[in-house]
């Protein structure tokens, strides 16, 4: 047997300088013929193609060798499509559906599972519910299927990981200015350089002030994110980052339904139901991060990330609380507000070591995660001044109301302080048997210690969970550019849920929900800059809570859902003048054991269309001019899993026009919904249904110097 010390020189070892630069992407202004070159050890993205990721395995691994479905939205794609939010930027990712998020947060549906807290930044949890901006984002990684071995609790359908821009020592000076319909105004700045040979800096900032296609709905947000990188020696790199982000907007819950369909959505694309003047939502986020990389003399690579984040989140909404009556003369309006104050402390420390045992090449990962979260959750229900009740009746033909609302905490509303302690340890081995076969296996142990105190009674309830989450996968490569894989993974969601709003006696004894995924797939590098992927999967969700009819306030954990599906994706350069991003997803998500009297076995899971197809194309006509054409199609779905309100299918075309003004400047025009189709883009429940935007034109100028 060859000893690790003997084997180490034969394997690629990441030095701190390489670590500092391993996130570099091949970027330009994206015009003109000629595919950018990738160096053998070069960047992880080129054009619309992501070549590698650290997030799926916690080690730098080519996507071809990753036994999991992973979609990457690159910085170039984000700029070309002109989108600024996670929901918009993932519209062209196969199998990802946008949910409404009650008009106050990012919320996506991945493989039939809602993901409103499964957001990560550089692999570390970012779980408060708010709208994130992409001004400081290098790329978005969508990792599909549960993978608690890497990410811990939740993530039943998958997770969204933002990889942020870093101070990498490469000079960058960029300004992106955008304006357009609905008084859209936005400017983003990205400046970075070397202070010295061992100190790098980068500063990102954004300011946006815009109205929207929805009446009285405005958005104002701004953020700043300075970062520094210090090369402390030939083996050690330290990165520091701080972000302040503020988002202030009008909460918009959309339209009610009537007769099992969205109410007059073609006529009410812009109509606000409720009181927009009493529906603010805002978040203030202060986030500090530190990452230390070190290579020990024996070849062990350490990466330790710490993240401290303080969030102040508030939203209030006066919104449609029921369906329009059969006569079309009345609809109920409801109101409530919610306050979430939370501070997160997380540390992840990983150790990676590459060695040989006979013919086997190992990449061994071991590490731990420590976390502490504390905060306040408060909900107050609204009582209308004219009725003294929680319901106001308005005419759906004139649904705007200015009636005053008094808010107070009632017995069923959250009013608690909480704290969660987390300790986790994990181990993983990536084994290369030969050039044709690779294995991956891992195990994670999580210890959750959650306590919540009801501020009205001063009673504290607590629960402890100890969870074991495995993963396993096999990759078979008959050709260097062709890989077949199969994988198995598990994740859990503790009974406290993902937002810790309360811990009642019934929740104290409820078992965690379990997500179990099996998957087979294929990945084919048609060329070094074009990858086609396919996957078949089966995802079971068990232990879902249903109300115990014999014990009010307690639950039975017999609810179950199953999602089976297929996904096909394609990203990269088809030719040196034609690049694509998109794919097709067939997703059959069903209730397999009843969740309530109306959500019964056989029902479709809400907001999950059976078929969805997306394709974005960019054609470089000549060195100065390019055209982008996008197409999105979704079959019908249901607003909720009771299947009583049907959302219609839709198709939408998008257009982009790009003109290179000079070597350092590009102008572009993006037209969303080119043919001005009326459609429903998302929903939260049967009577909070959001129409899609009409034809919307925005212009953007990118200047680099």
Residue 24 has pLDDT above 50, yes or no: no
pLDDT tens, 244-272? Answer: 999 999 999 999 999 999 999 999 999 99
Q: How far is CA 667 from CA 33, 177, 618, in A?
A: 17, 10, 15
* Residue 19 pLDDT > 60: no
Q: pLDDT above 90 covers what percent of the chain?
A: 86
pLDDT at 11: 31
Average pLDDT of the chain to the nearest whole number? 92
Residue 485 or residue 558, greater confidence: 485
Count of structural domains within the chain: 1
Confidence (pLDDT) at 13: 31
383's tokens: 């009582």
pLDDT at 27 over 70: no
- Residue 63, classed as helix, strand or coil, is helix
**pLDDT in the model for residue 14:** 33
Integer-rounded Cα radius of gyration of the chain? 25
Phi, psi of 114 (to 5 degrees): -70, 135
Model confidence over 205-216: pLDDT tens digits?
Answer: 999 999 999 999
Query: If pLDDT is split at 50, 70 and 90, which confidence band does 636 have?
Result: very high
Backbone dihedral angles phi then psi of residue 264, each to the nearest 5 degrees: 40, 50
Q: What is the pTM of this model?
A: 0.93
26 has pLDDT over 80:
no
Q: How confident is the model at residue 499 (pLDDT cuts 50, 70, 90)?
A: confident
SS (H, E, C) 84-110: CEHHHHCCCCCCEEECCHHHCCCCEEE
- φ/ψ of residue 55, rounded to 5: -70, -35
Checking DSSP bridges between strand 119-121 and strand 158-164, what pairing results, if any? parallel
From residue 157, how far is each of 145, 146, 414 by CA, in Å? 5, 6, 27
pLDDT digits (tens, 9 = 90+) for 98-142: 999 999 999 999 999 988 889 999 999 999 999 999 999 999 999
Q: What mean pLDDT comes out for the span 400-416? A: 95
Q: Which of the four pLDDT bands, split at 50, 70 and 90, describes residue 9? A: very low
* Enclosing domain of residue 179: 4-704
Q: How confident is the model at residue 29 (pLDDT cuts 50, 70, 90)?
A: low
Is pLDDT above 80 for 497? no
Contact of 146 with 133, CB cutoff 8 Å: no
CA 377-379-381 angle, to 5 degrees, is 175
Mean pLDDT for 656-685 is 97
pLDDT score, position 18: 34
pLDDT surpasses 60 at 40: no
CA trace torsion 212, 213, 214, 220 (10° rounding)? 0
User: According to the model, what pLDDT value does residue 30 have?
Assistant: 57
Domain CATH code at residue 360? 2.40.170.20
| Token output for 169 | 């020592």
Taking the CA atoms of residue 33, residue 37, residue 43 and residue 49 in that order, the dihedral angle to the nearest 10 degrees is 50
CA angle 665, 669, 672 (to 5 degrees): 145
Locus of tokens 């059959």: 588
149 phi, psi to nearest 5 deg: -60, -30
Q: Which residues contact 64 (CB under 8 A, 6 or more apart)?
A: 477, 481, 483, 523, 525, 531
Task: Locate 504 and state its tokens.
Answer: 């009642």
Element (H, E) at 564: strand 555-575
**Which of 216-248 are b and which e, b meaning 16 or more Cβ less than 10 Å from the residue's Cβ?**
bbbbebbbbbbbbbbbeeebebbbbbebebebb
Give the pLDDT confidence score for residue 655 in this predicted structure: 98
Assess whether pLDDT exceeds 80 at residue 6: no
Task: Retrieve residue 167's tokens.
Answer: 């101070």
Does residue 683 carry a pLDDT above 80? yes
The tens digit of pLDDT for each residue in 595-629 reads 888 999 999 999 999 999 999 999 999 999 999 99
Mean pLDDT over residues 352-361, rounded? Answer: 97
- pLDDT for position 495: 79
DSSP states of 374-440 as a string? EEEEEEEEEEETTTSSS-EEE-TTS-B----EEEE--TTS-EEEEEEEEEEEEEEEEEE-SSSEEEE
Mean local confidence (pLDDT), 419-424: 96
Quick check: 500 pLDDT over 70? Answer: yes
Look at phi and psi of residue 402 and say left if phi exceeds 0, alpha if psi is from -120 to 50, else beta. alpha
pLDDT for the residue 554: 76
43 pLDDT band, cuts 50/70/90, is: low
Q: What gap in Å lies between CA 551 and CA 554, rounded to an integer?
A: 6
Q: Is the pLDDT of residue 21 over 80?
A: no
For tokens 């794919």, what's the residue? 583
In terms of Cβ atoms closer than 10 Å to its own Cβ (0-12, 13-18, 19+), residue 5 is: exposed
* 115/106 Cα distance (integer angstroms): 9
Q: What is the arithmetic mean of pLDDT over 179-188? A: 97
Dihedral sign of CA atoms 139, 142, 147, 151 in order? positive
Confidence of residue 15 (pLDDT cuts 50, 70, 90): very low
CB atoms within 10 A of CB 524: 16
Confidence of residue 281 (pLDDT cuts 50, 70, 90): very high
């Amino acid at each position: 047997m060859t000893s690790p010390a003997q084997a180490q020189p034969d394997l690629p070892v990441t030095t701190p300088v390489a670590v500092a630069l391993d996130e570099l992407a091949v970027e330009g202004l994206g015009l003109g013929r000629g595919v950018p070159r990738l160096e053998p050890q070069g960047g992880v993205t080129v054009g619309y193609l992501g070549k590698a990721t650290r997030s799926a395995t916690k080690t730098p691994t080519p996507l071809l060798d990753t036994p999991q479905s992973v979609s990457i939205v690159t910085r170039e794609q984000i700029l070309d499509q002109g989108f600024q939010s996670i929901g918009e930027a993932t519209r062209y990712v196969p199998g990802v559906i946008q949910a409404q998020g009650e008009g106050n947060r990012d919320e996506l549906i991945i493989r039939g599972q809602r993901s409103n807290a499964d957001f990560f930044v550089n692999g570390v949890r970012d779980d408060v519910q708010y709208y994130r901006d992409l001004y400081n984002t290098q790329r978005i990684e969508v990792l599909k299927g549960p993978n608690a071995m890497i990410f811990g609790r939740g993530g039943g359908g998958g997770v969204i990981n933002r990889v942020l821009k870093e101070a990498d020592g490469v000079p960058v000076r960029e300004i992106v200015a955008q304006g357009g319909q609905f008084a859209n105004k936005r400017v983003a700045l990205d400046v970075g350089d070397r202070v010295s040979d061992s100190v790098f800096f980068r500063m990102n900032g954004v300011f946006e002030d815009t109205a929207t296609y929805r009446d009285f709905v405005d958005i104002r947000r701004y953020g700043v994110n300075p970062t520094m990188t210090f090369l402390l020696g030939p083996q050690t790199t330290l990165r520091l980052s701080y972000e302040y982000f503020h988002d202030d907007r009008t909460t918009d819950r959309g339209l009610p339904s009537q007769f099992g369909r969205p109410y007059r959505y073609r006529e009410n694309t812009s109509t606000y139901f409720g009181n927009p003047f009493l529906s603010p939502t805002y978040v203030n986020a202060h986030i500090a991060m530190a990452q230390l990389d070190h290579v020990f003399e024996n070849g062990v690579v350490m990466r330790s990330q710490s993240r401290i984040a303080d969030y102040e989140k508030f939203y209030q909404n006066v919104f449609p609380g029921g369906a329009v009556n059969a006569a079309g003369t009345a609809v109920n309006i409801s109101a409530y507000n919610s306050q979430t104050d939370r501070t997160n402390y997380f540390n992840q420390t990983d150790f990676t070591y590459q060695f040989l045992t006979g013919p086997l090449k190992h990449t061994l990962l071991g590490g731990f995660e420590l976390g502490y979260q504390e905060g306040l959750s408060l909900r107050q229900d609204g009582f209308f001044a004219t009725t003294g009740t929680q319901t106001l009746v308005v005419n759906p033909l004139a649904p705007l109301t200015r009636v005053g609302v008094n808010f107070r905490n009632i017995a069923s509303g959250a009013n608690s302080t909480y704290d969660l302690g987390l300790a986790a340890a994990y181990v993983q081995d990536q084994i290369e048997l030969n050039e044709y076969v690779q294995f991956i296996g891992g195990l994670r142990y999580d210890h959750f210690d959650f306590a919540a105190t009801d501020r009205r009674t001063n009673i504290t309830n607590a629960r402890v969970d100890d969870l074991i989450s495995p993963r396993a996968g096999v990759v078979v490569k008959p050709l260097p550019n062709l890989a077949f894989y199969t994988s198995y993974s598990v994740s859990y969601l503790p009974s406290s849920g993902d937002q810790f709003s309360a811990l009642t006696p019934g929740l104290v004894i409820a078992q965690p929900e379990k997500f179990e995924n099996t998957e087979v797939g294929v990945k084919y590098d048609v060329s070094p800059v074009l990858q086609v992927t396919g996957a078949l999967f089966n995802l079971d969700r068990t232990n879902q809570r249903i109300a115990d009819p014999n014990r009010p306030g307690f639950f039975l954990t017999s609810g179950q859902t199953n999602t089976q599906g297929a996904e096909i994706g394609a990203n990269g350069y088809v030719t040196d003048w034609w690049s694509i991003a998109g794919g097709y997803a067939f997703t059959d998500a069903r209730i397999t054991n009843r969740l309530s009297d109306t959500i019964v076995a056989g029902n479709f899971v809400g907001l999950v269309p059976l078929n969805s197809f997306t394709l974005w194309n960019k054609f470089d006509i000549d060195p100065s001019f390019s055209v982008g054409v996008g197409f999105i199609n979704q079959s019908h779905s249901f607003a909720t899993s009771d299947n009583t309100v049907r959302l219609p299918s839709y198709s939408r075309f998008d257009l982009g026009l790009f003109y290179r003004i000079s070597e350092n400047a590009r102008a572009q025009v993006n037209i969303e919904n080119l043919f001005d189709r009326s459609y429903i883009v998302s929903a939260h429940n049967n009577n909070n249904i959001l129409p899609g935007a009409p034809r919307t034109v925005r212009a953007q100028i990118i200047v680099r110097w």
